[in-house]
Amino acid sequence: MRKRLTVLLLSAAAALALCGCGSLFEKEYVYIADYAPAVQDGPSEGERVTVRNLEELKQAILNQVAEGKEESSVYFDTDYEGRAAEDLSSACWQLRTQDALCAYCVENISYELNKIVAYFEARVSVDFSDVWPGADRIVKMQYSTGLEETVKDAIQRGETKLVVLVNRSSYSAENMENIVSRVYRKYPASAPKEPKTTVKMFSGTGLQRLYEINISYGLSAGELELRRGQMAEIDPFAELDPAGMGQAELALEACRYLVENCSYTDDAQYNDIYSALVRRQANGEGLAFAYAELCRRLGINCQIVYGQLSWEDYSWNIVRIDGEYYHVDLGRCIASGLESGFLLSDQALWDDHRWDVSAYPRCTGTANFDNLENLDETG
């Protein structure tokens, strides 16, 4: 009976095998075949920099440069759109040749590419040049708007190098040098004397520009700080109450202060605001710088004119009073009295002065020192 039962069980097992039903062992085999090891999962997004295409790859490397990192890792998404090795080579070449920041401060970009089962990891190395100022020393701007304010702040801090990266700018290196000069002449008290400037420009794709602006004040750091302090102590209008005063009266007060507190010299060494306000002796340019600054403090629109007097290089000012423009020549005022150089028209000054008339506003106002009381002082 036992032998018969055994034969029946064996027959039943054979029948099950023939009908295609899987055994326990067969189920275990299928499970192992479908198992995916954890290392095949794509890189996590946490702290890793993961890229999905060439543009994201270039941006990742550019971010590394902008942050000043010499070493960094970049992970390629498991569904990366492209070929990792080819795109990595292309990205490094494009950044070195087509990006202004990299052209300025990167000597070389190298990498190691490793495949980790289902994705690639790249170790990117950046060799920075000696000019690299540090990531926090580069001013980044989308457009050129705000450049003048940036330059003014740099001069006021006494910085000797300013690096500005502008995404869209049409300015040349010469344009930037002119901007620095224009900013100083607009804010003469930002430094004791007009700084000398050299600019190096690096171009990227489109209108991307990087400017390395080197500023020389012609003074040691200690002397620069000393002179700044001496100028800060001077308050020409400490006893002046400008409330209720018209523009012409304020412009006259600024003129009168210099006439009473500064002498004229044609010595080229006395061509700065420090000479006029502290040394109390200045040539035409030094007086023009000082007058422009005093007018700025009183809210009067004033600019410096570079021209000639009796065919020699000379400087004076143009002020805007109640909508009209006038010449103010401090050298004349000191030499021959306020009436000889304050509020003059083009016609009154043209006998011995020469200037580029296309570069400055026409001075056609009818006011002068003698009829000052007739000016409309409504502001």
How confident is the model over 230-244, as pLDDT tens digits? 999 999 999 999 988
As a whole number, mean pLDDT of residues 133-157 equals 93
Q: How confident is the model at residue 370 (pLDDT cuts 50, 70, 90)?
A: confident
Alpha-carbon distance of 144 to 196, in angstroms, equals 22
Is the predicted pLDDT of residue 41 greater than 60, yes or no? no
Condensed to tens digits (0 to 9), the pLDDT of residues 113-123 reads: 999 888 899 99
As a whole number, mean pLDDT of residues 293-309 equals 96
pLDDT of amino acid 92 = 95
Long-range contacts of 28-37 (CB under 8 A, 24+ apart): 37/117
pLDDT of amino acid 281 = 98
Is the predicted pLDDT of residue 44 greater than 90, yes or no? no
Q: Is 322 exposed, middle or buried (0-12, 13-18, 19+ CB in 10 A)?
A: middle
Query: Tell me: domain 135-221, CATH 3.10.20, correct?
Result: no
Q: Do residues 264 and 287 lie in contact, with contact meaning Cβ atoms separated by under 8 Å?
A: yes
As a whole number, mean pLDDT of residues 74-96 equals 94
Domain boundaries, the chain: 50-128, 135-221, 243-374
pLDDT of amino acid 18 = 38
39/245: higher pLDDT: 245
pLDDT of amino acid 14 = 44
Is the predicted pLDDT of residue 65 greater than 90, yes or no? yes
Token digits for 193? 């004397």
Q: Do residues 89 and 126 lie in contact, with contact meaning Cβ atoms separated by under 8 Å?
A: no
As a whole number, mean pLDDT of residues 292-316 equals 96
Q: Do domains 135-221 and 243-374 have the same CATH topology?
A: no
Is the predicted pLDDT of residue 1 greater than 70, yes or no? no
pLDDT of amino acid 106 = 95
Tokens 């930037």 correspond to: 176
CATH domain 50-128 topology? Translation Initiation Factor IF3 (3.30.110)
Is the predicted pLDDT of residue 155 greater than 70, yes or no? yes
pLDDT of amino acid 12 = 43
Alpha-carbon distance of 235 to 261, in angstroms, equals 12
In three state form, how does the secondary structure of the chain look? Answer: CHHHHHHHHHHHHHHHHHCCCCCHHHHHHHHHHCCCCHHHCCCCCCCCCEECCHHHHHHHHHHHHHCCCCEEEEEECCCCCCCHHHHHHHHHHHHHHHCHHHHHHEEEEEEEEEEECCEEEEEEEEEECCCCCCHHHEEEEEECCCHHHHHHHHHHCCCCEEEEEEEECCCCHHHHHHHHHHHHHHCHHHCCCCCEEEEEEEECCCCCEEEEEEEECCCCHHHHHHHHHHHHCCCCCCCCCCCCCCHHHHHHHHHHHHHHHCEECCCCCCCCHHHHHHHCEECHHHHHHHHHHHHHHCCCEEEEEEEEECCEEEEEEEEEECCEEEEECHHHHHHHCHHHHEEECHHHHCCCEECCCCCCCCCCCCCCCCCHHHCCCCC
pLDDT of amino acid 244 = 85
Alpha-carbon distance of 143 to 104, in angstroms, equals 19
As a whole number, mean pLDDT of residues 312-318 equals 97
Is the predicted pLDDT of residue 251 greater than 90, yes or no? yes
Q: Do residues 203 and 211 lie in contact, with contact meaning Cβ atoms separated by under 8 Å?
A: no
Name the architecture of domain 243-374.
Answer: Roll (3.10)
As a whole number, mean pLDDT of residues 173-186 equals 95
Alpha-carbon distance of 325 to 314, in angstroms, equals 19
Q: Is 199 exposed, middle or buried (0-12, 13-18, 19+ CB in 10 A)?
A: buried
Q: Please tell me the least confidently modeled range out of 30-39, 88-97, 148-157, 158-167.
A: 30-39
In three state form, how does the secondary structure of 25-45 look? Answer: HHHHHHHHHCCCCHHHCCCCC
pLDDT of amino acid 136 = 87
Is the predicted pLDDT of residue 50 greater than 50, yes or no? yes
pLDDT of amino acid 374 = 53
Alpha-carbon distance of 196 to 182, in angstroms, equals 12
Q: How confident is the model at residue 28 (pLDDT cuts 50, 70, 90)?
A: very low
Condensed to tens digits (0 to 9), the pLDDT of residues 189-206 reads: 999 999 999 999 999 999
Question: What average pLDDT does the chain have?
Answer: 87
